[in-house]
Every structure is written in structure tokens, then in C-alpha cells.
Chain A
Amino acid sequence: MKIITLHESEETLIKKALKRDPKAEEKLFKKHAPRMLSVCRNYISDLHYAEDVMITGFTKVFDNLHRFRFEGSFEGWIRRIMVREAIDFLRSRKQMQFAEVEEAAFVSIDANPDDFDTDALQLLIDALPDGYRTVLVMYAVEGYSHKDIADMLGISESTSKSQLFKARKVLQQQLENQKNTAHGKGF
């Protein structure tokens, strides 16, 4: 029985893309673009700008494909490029400001994310100031440490912590407001 391979492995596609195979490049793009647009959207509230950033990011991905060493996951590698591109975009628009917070105490968010759909959560995050949102997404969604965040954003670790504290506080406030509104509507 002859087995026909219908699905090319990612490694094969990357190797073809390294040889400037346009079909392989397009396949890689189509495979990763939806998730990468979501990554960019986490940082940039305007979807059109987020797509611009994603396109620039993919341009860099393909131009620097030879630097990918096949050591980690390809998606992770692209993701890091996208995050950096999004940060550069926010910096270029001077949207990111990091206000120091005197006290970075523990803030608990008494809410269940299952109560909100993804779009609603995204809207809550969008409502945060850029500095808060960036640190929150980098820490909570991407899993960067405060040291990594400090390095990437050019801030101190304590600033990163304080930004996260503030972000949580504002987010908690918003969630409570939403809850109260929902309860009010229920009665």
C-alpha cells in the first residue's frame, strides 16, 4: 500500500522557505498568521494596526529565517518576534508610559474568567493604559519574567512589578463594575 504524504511537516516547510520557496512561505504564513494576529491584538487595541504589525513581523520572520536554529518551537520564535514588533510599535507611537507606583502590594482579582467571553476579556484589557496592558500581557499571557520584561521594555524590574500591580488593580475594579452591572440587570 502506497502512502501519500498530504501534510508536510513544519520543518520541511521551513527548510523549503529557507530556499525561498514561495509556496512553503505562504503555507507557514497561513498556518501561524491567525494566532500571531491575536498576539499582536493583545498589545494593540486597534485591529488594523495589529495586522500591520503582524505583517511587518512576518516580513522579519522570513528575512531572518536563517537565524532559526530548529532548537525551540517555530511558533515560539515567531511569537517573540511579534511581541518585540508590537512593543516597538507602541514605543514609536509613544503610547507606552510607565508611571511608578509607590506600593506594589498583592491584589487579588475575585472573578472567574469563565464568566466572560474572550472578546469581553480583551475589551477589559484594552481599557488598561498601554504600560499596564503591556506588562500584564507579557507577564500573564506570554509568561515572561519581570527580569525579561524589564530588559525588553528598558525599565527596572520594580517598575515592571508596579505596572503589573496597577494593571491588576484596575482590572479588578473593572470586573467588579461589570459584575455589579450584570447583577443590577438580573434584578
Chain B
Amino acid sequence: MEKDFEKELSHKLNQRTIEPSSNAWERVNLQRGKTKKRPTYIRYWIAALFVLGLGILWMQIGNQETEIPTEIVKSENNPSKPAQTKAGIELPEPSAKEQIATITPRKTEIAEPANTQTAKPELPKQQTLTLASADVRRHGIEDKITSTVVLMIDSGKKVDADDVDLLIEKARKEIAAGNGLSKRTDATALLKDSESEIDENFRTGVLENLFKHKKIKVALSSH
């Protein structure tokens, strides 16, 4: 009897249908929409990030176009020494004389003491002036070096090659750490500065030599 009861119960309940409310299908769609919207939002975010990335890339390409590619200024005195550098990435390991030469074009405050100490007839022997070494001219580092040099001059201490080496090494480390790179370099102006500096030094050296060697002077005058 009990089995029959449950069988009949099952039959009656299984045959029963209850009509859902009129908006039931809309609610199903709504609920499904909620679960689908998440991936849609993710897609929008991905698209937005992609556009942003393209924008950044475009800006970087634009910046690169304005920069002058790596150029090498070579003196003819020592053609055997390789003078390749990467612009703005790594500083070469120049000799003490080279280091002095890279700093001298900066400002008069730096150039004058450096020249007084080291810009002698040997100065035209400077091997390379690269854009990479010129990057040391960055604003923050420049100020630090300037102030240090001024302090040294004020204290009456003579600036020798080791001091300059030390300063350059310090600046190089700061650049490597990413400091002072926000300011853009006008590579053309820098190159022109460097060339004029070389010309000037070369001219000075030639004239000094001319005055020292009277024979040449005579020869020139007789000519």
C-alpha cells in the first residue's frame, strides 16, 4: 500500500506543471547577461590597454625620430682605438684625459678649472667625444658636479684628474640607476658644442706650438 502511495504520489507530482511567470525568460537572459558581462568588460579593458600601449609606443617612436643617432667624433691622432658607444645607455670607460674632455664643454664653471688644470697641449689628443659621454650633461648630475667643483675651487684645492674621475664615476652610477634621465638631450647642439670645443682646443694647440717653434714661425712669415 505504501509503495502504491509513493508511486501514485510520484506520478501525480511528475505530471504536474506550473506555469512560470511571464517574465521568467527575460530573467534567465538577464541572469545569463550578468555572467557574460564580466568577460565583455575584460575585453574592453584589454582593448583599452592595447590602445594605451600603442599610444605609448607611438610616442616613443616619435621621440626616437627627433634624437640624432649615435655618432662618433674621432680625432685622427689615434685611429686604432675603437670609439663605438651606445647613445645614452652606457658610458664608455674613458681615460682620465677623455673624461676631462667630456666634462669641459658643459659650463664655464666646470670648463675653466678643468682647462686650467688639464687643458694643455696634450688636450687635442682626446680620442672620442660621444653622445653617450655627453649624456652626463643631464640636469641634476650636472648641478651636483658643478657645485662640487666650485666647492673644491673655493677651498683652494686643485682639481686633478682623479677628482674628475671620481665625479664622473659618481655621475655614471646615478645615470645607471635611472636618475637624471628625464631631461631630453639636444644632440645636435651637443655635437656642435663638442666640435667647436675640439676646434678651439686644436687651434689653441696649433698657435701655442707655432709660438714655441720659431722656425716654423719664420717659415710661415717668410712664406
* Interface set of A (CB-CB < 8 Å, partner B): 22, 26, 29-30, 33-35, 37-38, 41-42, 47, 50-51, 54-56, 58-59, 62-63, 106-114, 118, 121-122, 137, 139-141, 143, 168
Contacts and interface: CB of A to CB of B under 8 A. Distances in A.
Contacts of A55: 24, 27-28, 31
Nearest to B27: A55
Interface in B12-41: 12-21, 24-25, 27-29, 31-32, 35
Contact of B18 (A38, A106, A108, A121): A38
A34 B19 contact: yes
A181 B17 CA distance: 29
Given A62-B28, A140-B10, A107 B2 contact: yes
Given A26-B25, A55-B28, A59-B28, A141 B19 contact: no
A58 B28 contact: yes
6 contacts: A35-B17, A51-B20, A59-B31, A112-B8, A114-B8, A140-B9
Q: When A and B form their complex, which 8 residue pairs have the shortest distance between CB atoms, in order from nearest?
A: A34-B17, A113-B8, A140-B6, A37-B18, A108-B2, A109-B5, A59-B31, A38-B16
B189 interface: no
B28 A109 contact: no
A121 to B, nearest CB: 6
B8 to A, nearest CB: 4
Interface residue tally on B, bucketed by range: 20 to 34
A38 B17 contact: yes
B141 to A, nearest CB: 60
A33 B20 contact: yes
A132 to B, nearest CB: 14
Given A29-B28, A56-B31, A37 B20 contact: yes
Among B8, B18, B24, chain A packs the most CB atoms within 10 A around the CB of B18
A2 to B, nearest CB: 33
A133 B2 CA distance: 16
B6 A34 contact: no
A141 B27 CA distance: 28
B20 A109 contact: no
Given A29-B25, A55-B24, A141-B13, A62 B5 contact: no
B32 A118 contact: no
A38 B11 CA distance: 13
Contacts of B220: none
Contacts of A34: 17-20
A137 B103 CA distance: 91
A118 B16 contact: yes
B1 interface: yes
Contacts of A56: 31
A111 B1 CA distance: 8
A155 B13 CA distance: 25
A22 B36 CA distance: 14
B12 A121 contact: yes
Contacts of B31: 55-56, 59
A179 B151 CA distance: 112
A111 B9 CA distance: 11
A64 to B, nearest CB: 11
Contacts of A143: 10
A118 B12 contact: yes
Given A35-B17, A114-B8, A59 B32 contact: yes
A42 B10 CA distance: 10
Given A35-B17, A62-B32, 19 more contacts: A33-B20, A33-B24, A34-B20, A37-B17, A37-B20, A38-B16, A47-B18, A58-B28, A59-B32, A62-B28, A108-B1, A112-B5, A112-B8, A113-B8, A114-B8, A121-B12, A139-B6, A141-B9, A141-B14
